[in-house]
C-alpha cells in the first residue's frame, strides 16, 4: 500500500468511528426517553430492591443485619452490581439499617419509595438511626 491509500483508509475509518459513536449516543438518548425517569432511575430502583431483599434474607437467616454488605452470603454475580451501587449503614445493634442508592446506570437517581415498600423491613431513615 502506498501512503495515499493508507491515508484514505485511515480517513474512512475515522469517519466510521465518529458515525458509530454518534449512533450510540443517539440510541442511548432514545432509550433514555422510553424509560420513565431514565435508566438511572430504572437501574437504581432495581439496585435498591435487590439490596433490600438480600439484607432481609440475611436477617431471617442470622437474626441480625450484616455489619457490611461484604458479609452477605449466597449472592449471585448480578447481585454484586446492585451491592456496589448502594451505601449501607446498620445501627450499632444491627437491628435496623439505612440504605441509599448511589448509582443507577451512570448517575445518582432520585428514588421515592412508598411507605408500604418499607413495611416489615429494618429500614429506617438516616435521622432515626443517629448515624454519622
Could you read off the pLDDT of 17-27 as tens digits, one per residue? 667 676 666 55
**Which of 129, 112, 123, 3 has the alpha carbon at shortest distance from 52?**
123
Contact 88, 99 (CB under 8 A): yes
pLDDT in tens, 33-53: 555 568 889 999 999 999 999
Q: Does residue 99 carry a pLDDT above 80? A: yes
Residue that is written with C-alpha cell 440510541 in the block: 27
The C-alpha cell that represents 69 in the structure block: 454488605
**Which of 56, 36, 54 has the alpha carbon at shortest distance from 111?**
36
Four-residue CA torsion sign, 15, 20, 26, 28: negative
pLDDT in tens, 60-79: 999 999 999 999 999 999 99
Average pLDDT, the chain: 86
Q: Does residue 8 carry a pLDDT above 90? A: no
Amino acid at each position: 500500500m502506498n501512503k495515499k491509500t493508507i491515508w484514505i483508509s485511515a480517513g474512512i475509518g475515522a469517519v466510521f468511528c465518529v458515525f458509530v459513536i454518534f449512533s450510540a449516543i443517539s440510541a442511548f438518548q432514545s432509550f433514555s426517553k422510553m424509560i420513565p425517569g431514565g435508566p438511572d432511575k430504572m437501574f437504581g430502583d432495581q439496585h435498591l430492591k435487590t439490596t433490600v431483599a438480600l439484607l432481609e434474607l440475611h436477617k431471617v437467616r442470622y437474626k441480625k443485619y450484616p455489619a457490611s454488605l461484604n458479609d452477605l452470603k449466597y449472592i449471585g454475580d448480578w447481585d454484586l452490581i446492585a451491592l456496589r451501587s448502594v451505601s449501607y449503614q446498620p445501627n450499632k445493634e444491627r437491628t435496623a439499617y439505612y440504605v441509599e442508592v448511589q448509582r443507577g446506570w451512570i448517575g445518582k437517581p432520585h428514588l421515592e419509595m412508598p411507605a408500604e415498600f418499607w413495611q416489615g423491613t429494618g429500614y429506617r431513615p438516616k435521622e432515626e438511626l443517629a448515624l454519622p
